[in-house]
Amino acid sequence: MTGQVRNVIIIGSGPAGYTAGLYNARAMLNPLMFGGYMSGGQLMLTSDVENFPGYPEGIGGPEMMMQLRQQAERFGLEVQDRNVEKIDASSRPFKVWSEGEEFQAHSLIICTGAEAIWLGVEGEAEQKGRGISTCATCDGAFFRDQEIIVIGGGDSAMEEATFLTRFASKVTLIHRRDVFKASQVMYDRAANHPKIEIKTFRSVTKWLSDDSGLTGAILEDPRDGSTEEIAVTGAFIAIGHKPITSFLEGQLETDDEGYLVHKELTMTSVPGIFAAGDVVDTRYRQAITAAGLGCQAAIDAERWLEDTQH
């Protein structure tokens, strides 16, 4: 085991994790955070955050995460930019392994968030990270003056499509039905953009490629099964996310989709283990709600530690 038994170990470093870290650090709990190799979470992949109160002009996702981290570190949050491989929740203190090293804590706060879902259709695996991406802010610049497609009908797809107009000559947004989950303001922004064409009732059934990379896709109309081919050299999949919980190896109760469940306030099925952010939130999934849950989990952990006299 490395070091002393900590009061709190926070796993994950998005807005939920940093807010939990800020609160626990200010409560003098000396928290340790495992932030992951790519610390900061999904907001590191977001261009502009316009809906977090307090930023009238908006703020870049990575900049916001840097500020949250600095704020928490100012009060003593210790952040290690490495992943957690597994935990042992069967007895207390809880055990956490990172890069093979064992750490122990009286309580844990899980804030590991969610990761992008891929379509999983023929030809995708070969083009992942080449012609097909799930992150416009990471890979958009590779597609300057090219024709690309974005798949999805939620806010992510609208945001990606709009952002990608900075680089692409044309963006075709493909959605499997004609009802959009996206908010009206984000839908309108995409729909009214001169470089964006929206095609509804289309699903990608196969990616096409040659030695040069992605060349197109076969699109199917789910209503009658008819197909058409679209020629594109880039594709961005924005069809949602799935929670990052596999490292927990089923030790904490989840719902059918793998999201952790709250049993009492922010506590999971194991007393002393709390969860916050997208790993538990199937409904709101916003930076502001993740931060709010991080605050709640930190306060719940603090009170639980007091009550159990740690």
Q: Which residues are catalytic?
A: 135, 138-139
Helix axes 61-74, 15-26, angle to 10 degrees: 20
In the bound state with ligand NDP, the residue whose beta carbon lies nearer, of 14 and 153, is 153
Helix axes 184-191, 155-164, angle to 10 degrees: 30
3-class SS of residue 75: coil
In the bound state with ligand NDP, the residue whose beta carbon lies nearer, of 270 and 290, is 290
Q: How far is the CB of 120 from ligand NDP (least distance, A)?
A: 8
Q: What angle do CA 21, 247, 241 make, to 5 degrees?
A: 80
3-class SS of residue 216: strand
Q: How far is the CB of 95 from ligand NDP (least distance, A)?
A: 33
- Residue with the closest Cβ to ligand NDP? 154
In the bound state with ligand NDP, the residue whose beta carbon lies nearer, of 4 and 51, is 51
Q: How far is the CB of 130 from ligand NDP (least distance, A)?
A: 20
In the bound state with ligand NDP, the residue whose beta carbon lies nearer, of 69 and 202, is 202
The residues binding ligand NDP (CB under 6 A) are: 51, 119, 151-157, 159, 176-177, 181, 203, 238-241, 285
Q: How far is the CB of 93 from ligand NDP (least distance, A)?
A: 35
Could you tell me which of 112, 22, 139 has the C-alpha nearest to residue 69? 22
Q: Kindly state the tokens that stand for 138.
A: 């990471």
Could you tell me which of 144, 142, 124 has the C-alpha nearest to residue 207? 124
3-class SS of residue 24: helix
Q: Kindly state the tokens that stand for 179.
A: 């009802």
Rg of the chain taking only CA atoms, in angstroms: 21
31-63 core/surface letters (b: 16 or more CB in 10 A; e: else) = bbbbbbeebbbbbbbbbbbeebeeeeeebbbee
In the bound state with ligand NDP, the residue whose beta carbon lies nearer, of 108 and 151, is 151
Check if the beta carbon of residue 33 is closer than 8 Å to that of residue 112.
no
Q: How far is the CB of 87 from ligand NDP (least distance, A)?
A: 27
